[in-house]
Amino acid sequence: MKLRYLAVPGVLLATSLTIAACSSPNGGNSATDSGTASAARTPAAVASPTTRPDASPTASGAVSSSSPGSAASGQTASVSSAPGRDGFNAALAQWKLAANAPLASINTYLRQAAKDLRGADDPGYSTAIGQLTYLSNVPDSNVPPAQQAKAESDAKALDTFFGTPGLFTGTSGQQTGFAAALAQWKQASNAPLAMVDSYFLQAGKDLRGADDPGYSTAIGQLTYLSNVPDSNVPPAQQAKAESDAKALDTFFGTPGLNS
């Protein structure tokens, strides 16, 4: 492999002058001239290779040297950790998707967010990875009070970590609308028959308030259930009501609650 050297102007000039003196018609002391030319070509007089001590590698693998001012002070250009930033941004995107997802799909996004942070290989992300993993294992229903309390605490901490205040702690439109509809769905399961329809209607209204196109099917099913009579239900209508109730239990992550 050939190394390229940077020519130092002073050395190049001295070498040129010496060679010129050796070849001048009037002659001169050949031993002295030879020694001078030899000295001008010693390693100390040769410029260093292109990669200099004051150069630092860039993210692309190229070499960037420090400015004259920083070279004097011994400082070199700093390089940011691109993999860490990319991993954080990917995890943030999953965190936001989870906030807008149906309850049955949230855990998938949380697990992917944790995976993205692991890929960033940053020790500072270990706490967030643990919190995401914990949340992804919380069941969709019948959560013990202690587990629910820790899940809420972790969600709040992750909102701070990702810089998304309130996204998972009650202030985002989609999450608040879904949570409100879920509460109505649960209350409907324990309500007297004459009041069930009002809870279904309110749940549909809450989902509309979330302004998420993905909720349109659930809204239609809730509306249908709210119009089913309390008695003497035709077989076809009864069959559709049971099918819709089962689908809504899946949507809300409450298997068997109203079906």
Residue 213 DSSP one-character state: G
- To the question of pTM greater than 0.75 for the whole model, the response is no
Instruction: Put residue 147 in one of left, alpha, beta given phi > 0 → left and psi -120 to 50 → alpha.
Output: alpha
- Give the structural domain span for 143: 82-162
Residue 183 near residue 199, CB atoms below 8 Å: no
Q: How far apart are CA 18 and CA 32, in angstroms?
A: 10
Query: 178 and 141, same structural domain?
Result: no
Query: 148 and 100, same structural domain?
Result: yes
Query: 248 and 184, same structural domain?
Result: yes
Is 52 domain-assigned? no
Query: 182 and 157, same structural domain?
Result: no
Residue 83, pLDDT score: 52
Query: 204 and 136, same structural domain?
Result: no
- What 3-state class would DSSP assign to 221? helix
Is 184 domain-assigned? yes
Is 258 domain-assigned? no
Residue 174, pLDDT score: 56
Report the number of distinct structural domains present in the chain: 3
How many residues are recorded in the chain?
259
Mean pLDDT per segment of 10 residues, for the chain of length 259 residues?
A: 40 37 43 39 36 36 36 34 75 91 86 93 91 91 76 91 82 65 92 93 87 83 95 95 95 90
Residue 65's beta-bridge partner residues? 55
Is 257 domain-assigned? no
CA dihedral angle for residue 100, residue 98, residue 104, residue 226, rounded to 10 degrees: -10
Query: 90 and 144, same structural domain?
Result: yes
Domain end among 118, 139, 162: 162
Domain end among 132, 162, 192: 162
The answer to whether the Cα torsion of 20, 23, 27, 30 is positive or negative is: positive
Query: 89 and 39, same structural domain?
Result: no
Query: 181 and 237, same structural domain?
Result: yes
Name which of 149, 167, 171 is nearest 158 in CA terms.
Answer: 167
Is 2 domain-assigned? no
Q: How far is CA 33 from CA 8, 18, 19, 43, 45, in A?
A: 21, 6, 8, 18, 17
Query: 154 and 179, same structural domain?
Result: no
pLDDT tens, residue by residue, 66-86: 333 333 333 333 333 455 688
pLDDT tens, residue by residue, 118-162: 988 888 899 999 999 999 998 876 777 688 778 888 999 999 999
The answer to whether the Cα torsion of 245, 247, 249, 251 is positive or negative is: negative
Is 199 domain-assigned? yes
Query: 223 and 201, same structural domain?
Result: yes
Is 75 domain-assigned? no
Is 29 domain-assigned? yes
Query: 183 and 150, same structural domain?
Result: no
Query: 116 and 147, same structural domain?
Result: yes
